[in-house]
Structure 1
């Protein structure tokens, strides 16, 4: 794989990940672009003890354009896009409409909170494009391309973790307008966050309590229990197991755990990276076969915090879930889920796992 960094017209970084061949000579971005937005801020919720990001400039971001106006397609035929190249394999670039922005010393005034907490939403948001085919999805990728995407995740995790003030790197993909996708072109995103996310903190608390109570590794024991039970295992390879968790919140939910406990993507061996792609493509194929239609989903990598002293308690894993509960029916977050955070799953996890095993291609 060849890695080629370059700059876009407004100074944002772009990195090409090519699968061999001659070294890339980046084409110049000829667009006349205004400076990137810098209006992001963070506010502290004293009741939930969580940060909330306010990024009002994102209201004007590109929303479900036609394929002729897609900003992630190659720049061809005189139409300049976010990727100034006639062809590419995998590309990462700084988001033009970021939720988090570099902190250039901008000062924020108190707005009358209980305790002043406003801070610049300092961080970085990148877009990771999986290929130039506008009509494809991750499930359509070859194992070689899936491995290239994995190497891009690793590269960006290392680069963003090294930035000052970054506490966690989050790689994810949203697919389908039902999830809230605003661009159809196959892509994911990577957030370099200035804080450790609430879910990560809560799982670290759980792992710490479990270690003190039992002396064991919570994530290793969850994986072992699922493997021994077997009823919720969807597929298994030499280095990974995909299973529906016993307490799944979503009608279709699968977690992918590496058999070896590692904190983050860069810690995976070459064999583990290869093996992941094969299993992930298999699981995505099962997702689309479940209702004989592309399944909307969120695919979320959980990596250890960059600097948290409890980093050693964390474990890399991928959580994949869909809001589709039946053909033509979506699960909406109703009063219990949205109001109180109490999930009610209409489908038994064992049933979901059995269905996903049965639709193996």
Structure 2
């Protein structure tokens, strides 16, 4: 039994010694200092401020529309006759060329009949004119000689006296004459001609179609001149001038065109508080519906700089670098575009960031690197 007690006592002492050793190790580990992380210094791009004249350019987008457009409607009824060229979208016509011809044989016969009646009516009064009004007989006789049923009815001779006017009117000649002229005017509507050189953009009928009065037949545009409608803030409405040159940019291929301000709307849109301006442009490469950006030069701002919008902080501040440490200064933004902002009250020689820095704050230690792109500009 004594031996057993001795073994248990030794084991107890060993357990106590191990516990003390483990505790001392834990305490020693707690007092071990954590490694100090290396301080990271971010590299920033900067530029030196040089105030100067900054042109204020307003950018506005829109779709091109033909300046001259005609919607083709029929004022008469009949069958669409085939022409020398097909009436199809994309078909070109010269000024005065027939675009649409409607069968008018039946109506033409009616007009010819009315002309014949007028001719016969004037012929019937010639004996009376010879006897009662010999002084006007020669001019009415010359009128009959020049009267051709196949051509447009010529104007009636000028009636110099009231007696002659009463006599001619009393025989119904004036009424018949104006009826014939009215029919001739209507007959001309059976043929639609191109008011200017252009192209058909929409064709709603084809040859052989029965055309009805009032029916829309298609659209015809002038492809030599287009207009771009843009909306400009009312604050710049007094800066827009008629005839001012405007640069237009195709956003798809960056191709540029030159236009001019052709019209400025006198009303301000109540909802958007903008004013509409119309820019005229001519170029054979342009097509209706093309999406272009217009850059309107409104004015020039002196003693100002232009930077990326991402560099302007909340509260109208920007970051500057002083002795490799970031700081913030107040600025006065005077114009915003989609990507840029024009600032004033930035002292010359100030070193400012030229590219945004993630996580930047005032007092941050930075490594300065000149922005070569900005320097070259």
Q: Which category of TM-score, normalised to the shorter sequence, fits these structures? A: under 0.3
Q: Normalization by structure 1: what TM-score?
A: 0.18
Q: Give TM-score, length-normalised by structure 2.
A: 0.17
- Whichever of the two has the greater Rg, that structure is 2
Normalized per residue, the structure richer in strand is 2
